[in-house]
Structure 1
Amino acid sequence: MLGPFQKRLKRFRPNPPQVLAFGFMIMIAVGSVLLSLPVSSANGVGLPYIDALFMATSATCVTGLSFFNIGGHFSTFGQLVLLLLVQIGGLGFMTVATLAALVFRRRISFRERLILQEAMNQSNTEGIVRLIRKVLLYALIIEAIGALVLAVRWMFEMPWGQALYFGLFHSISIFNNAGFDLFGMFPERASSLMHYVDDPIVNAVTMGLIVLGGIGFIVISDLLQYRQHKKLTLHSKVVLTVSGGLIVIGTLVIFLFELTNPQTLQPLSPIGKVFSSMFQSVTARSAGLSTLDTADLRQATQFFILLLMFIGAAPGSSGGGIKVTTFAILIGAMVAMVRGKEDIVLFRHRIAKDRIYKAITFTLLSFFLIVLAAMILSTTEEFPFLGILFEVTSAYGTAGMSMGLTAQLTTFGKIVIILMMFIGRLGPVTLAFTLTPKTEKELFRYPEGKITIG
């Protein structure tokens, strides 16, 4: 005879958001155990579990925050564990599981298609398996091209074997918007990509990988089929327009704010000034790499980058934030209100009410979570408040940029940042669906009421 708990457990069938949450938890748990092993460290001493958990979460949630020198602290085994977590976390574990099912010619059930629909932020399950095939193909091709170009560039300064490894590691890390780098193994160099602040090849390839990883596979697929269909979907138009606009505006703002800063742009050549301004604008949206020291930026620039991290990348990508489509709907709502219009119209398409409610809910939940976490950390961490707010936003937006707080976090602070990275990767709405029971349809509606606004 089964007990009451066993009966409930047997009847329990997790919904798609719960499957995604549990899947990420399992990946993080396995990764943390592997990273805590002595074999993962270059010095043969295992990491404390909380540090291993932090690094596994940062990799799986493709954030890139780290208090370790990745190239110097981790062994090749540890680096490969991080890289595998980044790849699976960026593509989505359900995408990788679908690949395994396709390889073994196993049929994808309707329930699994629903989970894939949730993972890819699709409105229905039609063509979802075909999309997954494209996602895997595009990712492998883009990462391979990026790895080859970077490897050829770095062969001029390191052995070809090391250059190939560096090219592969950084291509996967950059395309998945993780932001881990190995250049810390060279003591004479600055961290991240600061050594290549005015290198045209490294800058162009890195920014290209970040943008392709940030616009999402749905948009990439749409662009590749443009010659055949001669049109783009509304989603692609919004993502490309808003992403392009944010890159241009971000480049101009950072250039103007930092032009006379002797610690950032002032000493650079004209081409270096342009490259570094554009690079910070691109990377702020979710990538985490940098060619300038974020701590040396002016406070106005740091706060502006914080706003870019909050907006984030596109749905269906490996990036975080509230997403550019959400930002577009909010701007559209403001414009419609100012013009006295009832509908939000983007590219001659009226936005459905449920999309508007979801955008507002997502933005407010994200804002409240970031503010709450920043307030909590301001009482436990000895650091300026802007730096704390910056770090929390970076964790939630899976951006991976840091003003130096990560290296000084207390154990409690690490737990808070871990939670922010996890929630940011899943999204607060998905997490809410995971934690709340299935809602029943309301059988009645309350009478309409009016309150004064403004």
Structure 2
Amino acid sequence: MEKIRPVPLNQKKILTPIQFIVLGYLLFAFLGSVLLSSPFALQPGVKLEFIDALFTATSAISVTGLTTVVTRDTFSLAGRTILAFLIQFGGIGIMSMGTLFFVMRGNQIRLRERLMIRADQNQISLQGMVKLILFILKVAILFELLGALILTIHFIYNYQAPFLSALGMGVFHGISGFTNAGFDLFGNSLLDFQQDYIVKGVIGTLLLAGAIGFPVLLESYSNLLSWRKQRKLRFSLYTKITTITFGILVIAGFFFILLSEYSSTLAGMPWSQKIAVALFQSLTTRNGGFSSIDMNIFSSSTLLFLSLLMFIGASPSSCGGGIRTTTFAVLLLSLKAYLEGSNHVKVFQRELYQEDIVKALLVFFLAVILIFVSVVALAAIENFSTTEIIFEVCSAFGTTGLSMGITGELSKAGKAIIIAVMLIGRIGLISLLLLFRTRRPEDSFHYVKEHIIIG
């Protein structure tokens, strides 16, 4: 009889990369809430309930921008600094900051760290992980510094702001803009800057850079270097699909807002302002969260269309959430292939893997279930219209941060639901699936296949 060996008590259970990443975001959200609720992080005389601190910290680490309090009136300089750090960590990914720490110490990036980076950035291959992370850090620093510099100078010379105040505003919004966090220190987002095209232009450029996807930026940079050496430009299928889908969604949102609100919300505005408002509002639904107009004055049809755009979200491996642009593109391409009578999805002289198509369907299916359950739960416990609830939930899932003003009026249970949706939106549904997926050996046999009636 074989002797059973007992498992040593001191044997540690090693976390998988996905579990480590999820635990990291949860830990940062909790630590952030503890710090933000501390007296030194608050304005004199202000008290913050722990649920509101947790909501704000989760919104920051998930770079959403939804908040139950007014950031400017609630947090001191120390609190705003903590908030900026949380936004930075959440925007470029926890493992990006971890990689920087490893590199600065001169440590070698081992396989386990590379697996964690791949999970955090939602990548497929392990190849070039460290290169991608270092590029993300360089791009983040470059865009945030340039944005902060331009905004600081603009606030000083055009709004006569004191240097330190202008610098603080510039740095905070440079970080919040590039990471698509949507947090602001103005008290009403960008409503006071509706005709300030410098502020909107800088923020809009930062939003675009942070939402298009870091692999796209890296590939574009590599192609720029190749073009300067008179080499042929070559873009991957991922970059082509991501860029085209991103552009189509921005243009679609722009025309929808312009046409649907032309005689109402945008009435009385000069053409230049109408175009600027429509374009900025379409771009910010990609995950920005900044708004140059009160969302409550939009029609229900516009709000529902913006909810759809927020549900789709930004590109993979970016600062944004949602189902991601590539998922949406794969679903449309699959539908197109089916209508054409083809069993294979082909685009740009390439054929998609069946596994990726199944993943896209799973992500969409789970996202719809998540949105539906969240909307029903909130409708049962909150006294808001269905449109307001759908808009809030889609904003949380897409980590966008746009709101119709109901966030601060949510009950504790309602805030808990939005907190969960924000975390899921930031972590990603694929990562969430892998978190619960069990490993099992390949089937040694198959049953006889049989068709069932569908539809």
Normalised by the shorter chain, which TM-score bucket? Answer: over 0.9
Counterpart CA distance in 2 for 1:62 and 1:440 is 38
Q: Determine the structure 1 residue equivalent to 2:403.
A: 402
Q: Determine the structure 1 residue equivalent to 2:134.
A: 133
Contact 2:55 2:68 in 1 (8 A): no
Q: Determine the structure 2 residue equivalent to 1:444.
A: 445
Q: Determine the structure 2 residue equivalent to 1:215.
A: 212
Counterpart CA distance in 2 for 1:357 and 1:93 is 28
Q: Deviations over 1:183-241 (max 9, x none)?
A: 12xxxxxx110111122212221111111100111100111111315111111111110
Counterpart CA distance in 2 for 1:28 and 1:122 is 24
Counterpart CA distance in 2 for 1:53 and 1:380 is 20
Q: Determine the structure 2 residue equivalent to 1:168.
A: 171
Counterpart CA distance in 2 for 1:328 and 1:311 is 10
Q: AA paired with 1:168?
A: V
Counterpart CA distance in 1 for 2:346 and 2:30 is 44
Contact 1:311 1:321 in 2 (8 A): yes
Q: Determine the structure 2 residue equivalent to 1:187.
A: none
Correspondence list, 1:31-42, <5 A: 31-42=32-43
Counterpart CA distance in 2 for 1:429 and 1:240 is 21
Counterpart CA distance in 1 for 2:440 and 2:137 is 35
Q: Determine the structure 1 residue equivalent to 2:201.
A: 204
Contact 2:94 2:120 in 1 (8 A): no
SS for the counterpart of 2:268 is coil
SS for the counterpart of 1:225 is helix
User: Which stretch shows the higher mean deviation, 218-227 or 430-439?
Assistant: 430-439
Cα RMSD, aligned residues only: 1.5
Structure 2: runs of 5 or more not aligned: 1-5, 227-231
SS for the counterpart of 1:10 is coil
Q: Determine the structure 2 residue equivalent to 1:188.
A: none
Residue of structure 1 aligned with 2:221, choices 215, 224, 234: 224
Q: Determine the structure 2 residue equivalent to 1:53.
A: 54
Q: Determine the structure 1 residue equivalent to 2:242.
A: 239
Q: CA deviation at 1:131?
A: 1.2
Q: AA paired with 2:179?
A: N
Q: Deviations over 1:39-95 (max 9, x none)?
A: 111124441111111110000000000121111211111111111000001111111
Q: CA deviation at 1:352?
A: 0.4
Q: CA deviation at 1:440?
A: 3.6
User: Which stretch shows the higher mean deviation, 20-29 or 149-158?
Assistant: 149-158
User: Which stretch shows the higher mean deviation, 153-162 or 299-308?
Assistant: 153-162
SS for the counterpart of 2:11 is helix
Correspondence list, 1:183-194, <5 A: 183-184=186-187, 191-194=188-191
Identical positions, percent: 38
Normalising by structure 1, we get a TM-score of: 0.95
Q: Determine the structure 1 residue equivalent to 2:162.
A: 159
SS for the counterpart of 2:405 is coil
Contact 2:379 2:389 in 1 (8 A): yes
Counterpart CA distance in 1 for 2:263 and 2:404 is 20
Counterpart CA distance in 1 for 2:404 and 2:347 is 37
Counterpart CA distance in 2 for 1:268 and 1:5 is 73
Contact 1:198 1:271 in 2 (8 A): no
Q: Deviations over 1:87-138 (max 9, x none)?
A: 0011111110110000000111111111111112221111211111111111
Counterpart CA distance in 2 for 1:372 and 1:48 is 27
Contact 1:39 1:46 in 2 (8 A): no
Q: AA paired with 2:126?
A: T
2:84 pairs with 1:87: no
Counterpart CA distance in 1 for 2:270 and 2:396 is 32
Q: AA paired with 1:143?
A: E
Counterpart CA distance in 2 for 1:50 and 1:440 is 43
SS for the counterpart of 1:178 is coil
Q: Determine the structure 1 residue equivalent to 2:321.
A: 320
Counterpart CA distance in 2 for 1:13 and 1:441 is 24
User: Which stretch shows the higher mean deviation, 162-171 or 222-231?
Assistant: 222-231
Counterpart CA distance in 1 for 2:328 and 2:355 is 15
2:330 pairs with 1:333: no
Q: CA deviation at 1:433?
A: 2.1
Normalising by structure 2, we get a TM-score of: 0.94
Q: Deviations over 1:337-374 (max 9, x none)?
A: 11112211122211100000000000110110010011
Contact 2:135 2:218 in 1 (8 A): yes
